[in-house]
C-alpha cells in the first residue's frame, strides 16, 4: 500500500501517477489549479480513493486503469476538464446524489476507447458551462446524455467517433448554441439522419460527416443543413457518387468545402457550388474531366483563395483552365500526383495574390521557369 501525502506546496499544479499498482490514496494541500494524471493504475477502483484531492482538482486525465468501472463526477466540485481513455471496465459517469446536482465548473469532457462505457447519469448531465464533449470508441454507448438541449446551455462542440451502437440524438434535440458537429464512423446514427433536424440549430457553423457506406448523394434534400454553415467536410463516404445542388443552394455562408476519400464521386453539381466558397479541398478522389469540367464551365464556382487538389487521373488541361479562372485572387495552390507529370503553369498566378504554392510527386520536374510569377 502506498499513501502519498503532499502538503505545504502552494505552487503545485500537476500530479502524475504512472504504472503504480499499489497506490491507494493521495493527500494534497494546494491553493492553485491542480491537475491529476493517472496511467496504468490497476487498483484504481473508485474515485473515493483520492482523499483530500476532490475539492481541489480542476483537471483529471485517467488512462489504462482497467479496474475503474464508474467515474463519480460529483466528488469533484471544481473539475473543469475530464479525460478518460482506454479504461476497459469503465461503464458510466455516475453520481451519488439525487436529484442530480449541477456541475457548474465542468467545461470539457472526453471519453475515448472505453468499450464497456454505456451510460451517463439518469436524467442527464447538468453542466451549464460544458462547451465540448468528445466520445470515441465507446462501442456499447447507446445514447447521448438526456435533455442536452436544456441542461447544456453553453454547449458548442460535439465530436462522435466510432460509436457503433449509438442510433439517435436526444429526443429534445441538440443544444441551440452548438457550433461544431463531427460524426465519424457512427453507422446507426447516420442511418437515422432523417430525424437529425440540423437546420433548426441556429449557431451550427462547422459540420463533418465521415466513414459511412449507404449514401450515394449528399446533402440529401430530406436532411437539410443549416444556412449558417461556413465549413463542411465530407470524408470517406464510400459509395458517394454525386453532390446534390438542392442540398447546397441554401448554404449561402459556406466558405470551406473539403472532400476526401470519396472514390466513386464523379461529378459536382452542374449548377455550381455556393458563390460564397473561398476554399475548396478535394483529395484522394478519382476526378476525371467530368468533374473538373463542371468546375471550369460554371462561373458560379469561384474558389476565391485556396485550391487544394490531390486527385487521381486529374487532367492537366482542365486543371489549368480552372486555375485560370481564379488567377487574380488565389492565394494558395496545392497540386499533387497529376498522372501525366506536367507542371502546373506558374504564370497563371500573380505575385500580388499568391501566398503558398506546392508541387508534389513530379519526378521529372527539374526547374521552374524564371519569371513565371508576375
Half-sphere exposure of 8 (CA within 13 A, CB side): 0
Largest interatomic CA distance in the chain: 75
Contacts of 342 (CB under 8 A, 6+ apart): 316
Does 75 map to a domain?
no
Domain identity same for 194 and 220: no
Half-sphere exposure of 244 (CA within 13 A, CB side): 15
Report the domain count for the chain. 3
pLDDT of 97 reads 60
Using a 10 angstrom Cβ sphere, with 0-12 exposed, 13-18 middle and 19 or more buried, the burial of residue 84 is: buried
Domain identity same for 162 and 294: no
pLDDT of 77 reads 86
How many helices (H) and strands (E) the chain has is answered by 5, 21
What does the DSSP 8-state code read for residue 347? Answer: G
Domain identity same for 42 and 114: no
pLDDT of 221 reads 82
Of 132, 167, 124, which Cα lies nearest the Cα of 149? 124
Between the alpha carbon of residue 20 and those of residues 7, 69, 76, the distances in Å are 21, 18, 22
302-313 confidence digits (pLDDT tens): 455 566 665 554
- Pairwise CA distance, residues 355 & 218, whole Å: 32
144-155 confidence digits (pLDDT tens): 999 999 999 999
Residue-range definition of the domain harbouring residue 363:
212-374
Spell out, as residue ranges, where the chain has pLDDT lower than 70: 1-33, 41-55, 96-101, 284, 286-374
pTM greater than the 0.75 cutoff: yes
Domain identity same for 49 and 114: no
- Pairwise CA distance, residues 72 & 46, whole Å: 8
Domain identity same for 176 and 220: no
pLDDT of 342 reads 42
Domain identity same for 4 and 113: no
- Other Cβ atoms less than 10 A from the Cβ of 24: the count is 13
- Pairwise CA distance, residues 268 & 340, whole Å: 23
User: b/e for 121-137, b at 16 or more Cβ within 10 A?
Assistant: beebbbbebbbbbbbbb
Does 82 map to a domain?
no
Domain identity same for 35 and 113: no
Amino acid at each position: 500500500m502506498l499513501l502519498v501525502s503532499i502538503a505545504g506546496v502552494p505552487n503545485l499544479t500537476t500530479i502524475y501517477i504512472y504504472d503504480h499498482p499499489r497506490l491507494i490514496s493521495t493527500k494534497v494541500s494546494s491553493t492553485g489549479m491542480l491537475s491529476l494524471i493517472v496511467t496504468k493504475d490497476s487498483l484504481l477502483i473508485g474515485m473515493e480513493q483520492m482523499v483530500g484531492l476532490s475539492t481541489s482538482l480542476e483537471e483529471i486525465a485517467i488512462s489504462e486503469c482497467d479496474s475503474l468501472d464508474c467515474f463519480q463526477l460529483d466528488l469533484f466540485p471544481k473539475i473543469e476538464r475530464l479525460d478518460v481513455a482506454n479504461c476497459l471496465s469503465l461503464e458510466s459517469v455516475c453520481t451519488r446524489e439525487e436529484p442530480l446536482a449541477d456541475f457548474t465548473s465542468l467545461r470539457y469532457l472526453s471519453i475515448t476507447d472505453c468499450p464497456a462505457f454505456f451510460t451517463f447519469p439518469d436524467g442527464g448531465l447538468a453542466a451549464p458551462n460544458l462547451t465540448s464533449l468528445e466520445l470515441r470508441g465507446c462501442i456499447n454507448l447507446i445514447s447521448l446524455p438526456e435533455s442536452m438541449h436544456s441542461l447544456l446551455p453553453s454547449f458548442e462542440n460535439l465530436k462522435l467517433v466510432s460509436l457503433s451502437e449509438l442510433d439517435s440524438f436526444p429526443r429534445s434535440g441538440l443544444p441551440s448554441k452548438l457550433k461544431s458537429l463531427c460524426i465519424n464512423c457512427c453507422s446507426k446514427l447516420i442511418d437515422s439522419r432523417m430525424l437529425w433536424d440540423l437546420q433548426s440549430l441556429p449557431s451550427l457553423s462547422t459540420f463533418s460527416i465521415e466513414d459511412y457506406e449507404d449514401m450515394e448523394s449528399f446533402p440529401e434534400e430530406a436532411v437539410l443543413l443549416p444556412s449558417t454553415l461556413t465549413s463542411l467536410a465530407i470524408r470517406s463516404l464510400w459509395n458517394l457518387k454525386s453532390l446534390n445542388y438542392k442540398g447546397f443552394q441554401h448554404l449561402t455562408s459556406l466558405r470551406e468545402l473539403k472532400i476526401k476519400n470519396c472514390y466513386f464521386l464523379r461529378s459536382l453539381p452542374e449548377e455550381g457550388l455556393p458563390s460564397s466558397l473561398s476554399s475548396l479541398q478535394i483529395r484522394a478522389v478519382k476526378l476525371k474531366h467530368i468533374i473538373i469540367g463542371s468546375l471550369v464551365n460554371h462561373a458560379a464556382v469561384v474558389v476565391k483563395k485556396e485550391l487544394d487538389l490531390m486527385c487521381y487521373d486529374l487532367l492537366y488541361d482542365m486543371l489549368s483552365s480552372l486555375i485560370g479562372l481564379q488567377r487574380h485572387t488565389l492565394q494558395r495552390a496545392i497540386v499533387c500526383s497529376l498522372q501525366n507529370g506536367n507542371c502546373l503553369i506558374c504564370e497563371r498566378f500573380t505575385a500580388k495574390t499568391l501566398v503558398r504554392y506546392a508541387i508534389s510527386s513530379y519526378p521529372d520536374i527539374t526547374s521552374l521557369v524564371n519569371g513565371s510569377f508576375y
